[in-house]
Structure 1
Amino acid sequence: MTLNLFDQFNIPQLFNITLLPAIMLLPMMMLQIKTCRFKKPRLTTLYNWFIKMMMKTTMSKASPLGQKWAPVMTATLLLLIMLNTTGLLPYTYTPTTQLSMTLALAIPLWTATVLTGARNYPTRSVAHLLPEGTPTLLVPILILIETASLLIRPVALGVRLMANLTAGHLLLQLISTATLATLAITPITSIFLAALLVLLTTLEMAVAMIQAYVFTLLVSLYLQENS
């Protein structure tokens, strides 16, 4: 039972060929390319409106240097939304439930924000490691604590995204298994569990989009501290 429960997090294969690249390319195929029309398609207009609204909320307080990150943040947000929500479809796979995938996104983005601050504002970046007015005896300890808290940020980004999505998928798996198990014994309970499963699926869809937004928002906050 335990093995079957966690089998959903295994990378699917067909004829011993991993399907992960095809799954990750599927959301990208939904995007439309630019055309020579005088009027943009409705889907393209919707994407542009969505990008503008999200950038107003995540990059509104960023400096002119941070505003240059808008295309990167937009691409990250749309990628995470599509990967998180695509995994809720039947017979699909969610790459962001793998810690290696989330860390591969979190570590480079966090490193780029730190390097941006160290390059453009080296004094201010170092000053973040020591609060103003710290007693002399506590200086080494606080520097170590602040350094540890700084280095733990990419791990927290990756683990937060992975843990929330994994917990949601496990809960859906448990409820769906209980629904099938009680179908022949107590149909009323099975109907109740099926309704609960629909509600949880809707909630998980919202969680998938919210976690993508939280990931992007935290990266933008780290960027604001270093720009």
Structure 2
Amino acid sequence: MATSLFDQFISPVLLGIPLIALAFVLPWLLFPAPAHRWITNRLLTLQNSFVGTFTAQLLKPLNMGGHKWALILAALMLFLMSLNMLGLLPYTFTPTAQLSVNLGLAVPLWLATVLIGMRNQPTKSLAHFLPEGTPIPLIPILIIIETISLFIRPVALGVRLTANLTAGHLLMHLISTAAYSLLCLMPTVAILTTVVLFMLTVLEIAVAMIQAYVFVLLLSLYLQENV
């Protein structure tokens, strides 16, 4: 029985246990724990340097009120990056290819930024729904448009991450299937297709890292509007 291309995005189950739960735990096991020594290892030094550089760049445009989110944003960046790159390994599963997982991450964080804005600066937050100097006949239309644009933000965060990872994995699956089918018929073409697959894999690694950064960056921009 021929399977669908999208079967690779179905959460696998082993002995009644959904493996997506294990995939969520795995990223935290990959990162080294801080040692109780003055001299640390190279991996921990590289991790600290990456987290420090990323956090400084991400929080530079934010006000002091948004700096409280430094730990949450840095942890989310490392978590998403690990989950995105997890699916590039053989016999693994990418949890962030599921729209429900991405929306489960995007909606609570987006809602937290909105609630912070409503609590700290309610006048400025409500002013986004109606720009100053708007003609009276356009007031209902603008309020509806701004409300829709506000509630579409978490959906855009989740759909963007899901679509990019799904498209990349599907393309890699199609090219690998073509290379395997052409191996006996046209070995030269199969070798060239394998080279393209290798280049696409390198590109997909970059996409996995970039999409995690874009997710956190857009979330920080939403936070910037409300602090």
TM-score range, shorter chain: over 0.9
Measure how far apart 1:78 and its partner are. Answer: 0.4
Q: Deviations over 1:58-110 (max 9, x none)?
A: 21110111011000000110000000011100000000000000000000110
Q: Deviations over 1:159-180 (max 9, x none)?
A: 0000000000000000000011
Aligned to 2:110: 110
Aligned to 1:59: 59
Quick check: 1:91 aligned with 2:91?
A: yes
Mapped to 1, the partners of 2:187 and 2:204 lie a distance apart of 25
Measure how far apart 1:10 and its partner are. Answer: 1.1
Quick check: 1:220 aligned with 2:220?
A: yes
Aligned to 1:29: 29
Measure how far apart 1:4 and its partner are. Answer: 3.2
Change (3 A) 1:89 1:72: same
Mapped to 2, the partners of 1:81 and 1:36 lie a distance apart of 27
Mapped to 2, the partners of 1:65 and 1:159 lie a distance apart of 29
TM-score in terms of structure 1 length:
0.97
Q: Which runs of 5+ in 2 are unaligned?
A: none
Q: Deviations over 1:6-40 (max 9, x none)?
A: 11101122233221222222221111222221222
Which residues of 2 match residues 1-227 of structure 1 at below 5 A? 3-227=3-227
Corresponding residue pairs, total? 227
The aligned amino acid for 1:90 is P
Secondary structure at the residue paired with 1:3? coil
Mapped to 2, the partners of 1:132 and 1:18 lie a distance apart of 52
TM-score in terms of structure 2 length:
0.97
Mapped to 2, the partners of 1:26 and 1:68 lie a distance apart of 26
Mapped to 2, the partners of 1:83 and 1:147 lie a distance apart of 32
CA RMSD of aligned residues (A): 1.2
Measure how far apart 1:2 and its partner are. Answer: 7.3
Measure how far apart 1:3 and its partner are. Answer: 3.3
Mapped to 1, the partners of 2:96 and 2:190 lie a distance apart of 30
Worse-superposed segment, 48-57 or 58-67: 48-57
